[in-house]
Amino acid sequence: MEEKQMSELESLQVISTMIQKAKTSYHDKGTGAMLWGVVITVCSLSTWAQLHYKYELPFDIWLLTVVAVVPTIILSIREGRRRKVKGYDETAMNWVWTCFGIAIFLTVHANNAVSAAFGDIKDAVEAAGGARPAIYYSDYSSAFMLMVYGIPTLVSAGIKNFKPMLIGGIVCWLSAIAVVYTDRATDMLLMALSATCAWLIPGIILYVKSRKLQAA
Amino acid sequence: MFKDLDPILHSQLRLAVMSLLISVREAEFTFLKEKTNATAGNLSVQINKLKDAGYIQVKKQFKDNYPQTLCSITDTGIAAFEKYVRDLQSYLQTGAA
């Protein structure tokens, strides 16, 4: 491209070509979404299996989510280094998913505190001579997690105009309603379904798309 | 009455750079070079003209021990680009009438 004067139509052509080039310059590889889709699906299915087949793993399977933070940070730094351009939507997405990570931590913290309080109340009822109430907070806590899962998924779907994630976000929120009425084992199946629809499948779609674009 | 098109923007390479930068938050010099197919020397001259006009911001830093030049559009640049597009539209509408 040289520095030359153009007609008005040529100017318009340059603008639209360059805007199009900028738009298609960066594609999410979907690795983060795939990673978290797999982690949450595996943790949920493992918890379901423990509840259904009545056995216990020697460790808390959900600790995998803590372990998964490390590759997420490495992937994010590596992708950031490779990238020659930073888009506006990428900044918004980074904020949304960082807030999501913090919100999940806060939700787990609050759920643990409420669960402990439930235990104290049940102890008090039992100490007063009553029958120990057969009510478990864990039957409801998944609803809050699924509600939080749905928010960044739907916001990302809106920013990227990406239908598979929109469907995934809706599945998360429908599951958030359903888990209030189901037992904990079923809650875990719904959580696995939500993680698969919200992150694993959209992640695979993004990965395939980016491979095709790289090959083109 | 035709409005004069901004002479800073009414040049193929400078307009291409501005069109790329209006779509992104920040872009490396190498990205602009790759997308415009311009030579490094020519691109560098045009970037300096846009910078002198206050339309873009140029940040030089080091990335993995290599020099890196980052360009981003300024508010003045956005306003100038929008005005240029409006002026262009009025030209084309008048031409079509």
Give the model confidence (pLDDT) of A37-52 as tens digits: 999 999 999 999 999 9
What pLDDT sits at residue B1? 45
Q: Write down the mean pLDDT value for chain A.
A: 91
Domain assignments of chain A as residue spans, ordered by start = 30-75+103-210
CA distance B16 to chain A (A): 6
Q: Would you say residue B3 has pLDDT above 90?
A: no
Question: What ipTM score was computed for the predicted complex, to two decimals?
Answer: 0.86
Q: Which residue of A has its CA nearest to B47?
A: A3
Q: Which residue of B has its CA nearest to A84?
A: B28
Find the domain containing B32 and state its range. Answer: 12-87
Nearest CB to A18 within list B19, B91, B92:
B19
Give chain B positions within 8 Å (CB) of A18.
Answer: 15-16, 19-20, 23, 35-36
What pLDDT sits at residue A124? 93
Instruction: Give the alpha-carbon dihedral of A207, A72, A160, A93, to 10 degrees.
Output: -170
Give chain A positions within 8 Å (CB) of B15.
Answer: 6, 11, 14-15, 18
CB proximity B20 to A under 8 Å: yes
Position A2 confidence tier, pLDDT thresholds 50, 70, 90 = low
Give domain status of residue B92, yes or no: no
Per-residue pLDDT tens over the stretch A149-178? 999 999 999 998 999 999 999 999 999 999
Q: Would you say residue A18 has pLDDT above 80?
A: yes
| Alpha-carbon gap, residue A191 to A149, rounded angstroms | 10
Q: Would you say residue A214 has pLDDT above 90?
A: no
Q: Give pTM, 2 decimals.
A: 0.80
**Crossing angle for the helix pair B40-52 and B29-36, nearest 10 degrees?**
120
What pLDDT sits at residue B19? 96
Q: Tokens in use for B44?
A: 């560098």
Number of domains forming the structure of chain B: 1
| Alpha-carbon gap, residue B31 to A87, rounded angstroms | 13
- Comparing A5 with A112, the larger pLDDT belongs to A112
Give domain status of residue B55, yes or no: yes
Please indicate whether, in this complex, the C-beta atoms of A15 and B95 are within 8 angstroms of each other.
no
Give me the mean pLDDT over the B76-84 stretch: 95
Q: What does each C-alpha distance from A155 to A81, A148, A159, A205, B64 come to in angstroms? A: 25, 11, 6, 18, 33
Residue with tokens 């360009």: B71
Please indicate whether, in this complex, the C-beta atoms of B88 and A8 are within 8 angstroms of each other.
yes
In terms of average pLDDT, the best of A6-10, A70-74, A149-153, B64-68 is A149-153
Give me the mean pLDDT over the B52-75 stretch: 92
What pLDDT sits at residue A86? 87
Q: Where residue B59 sits, what CATH number does that domain have?
A: 1.10.10.10
Give domain status of residue B42, yes or no: yes
B74 neighbors B57 (Cβ within 8 angstroms): yes
Per-residue pLDDT tens over the stretch A117-127? 999 999 999 99
Per-residue pLDDT tens over the stretch B17-50? 999 999 899 999 999 999 999 999 999 999 999 9
Task: Out of A18-32, A190-204, B60-74, pick the least confident.
Answer: A18-32
Please indicate whether, in this complex, the C-beta atoms of A3 and B13 are within 8 angstroms of each other.
yes
| Alpha-carbon gap, residue A150 to A102, rounded angstroms | 14
Percent of chain A at pLDDT exceeding 70: 98
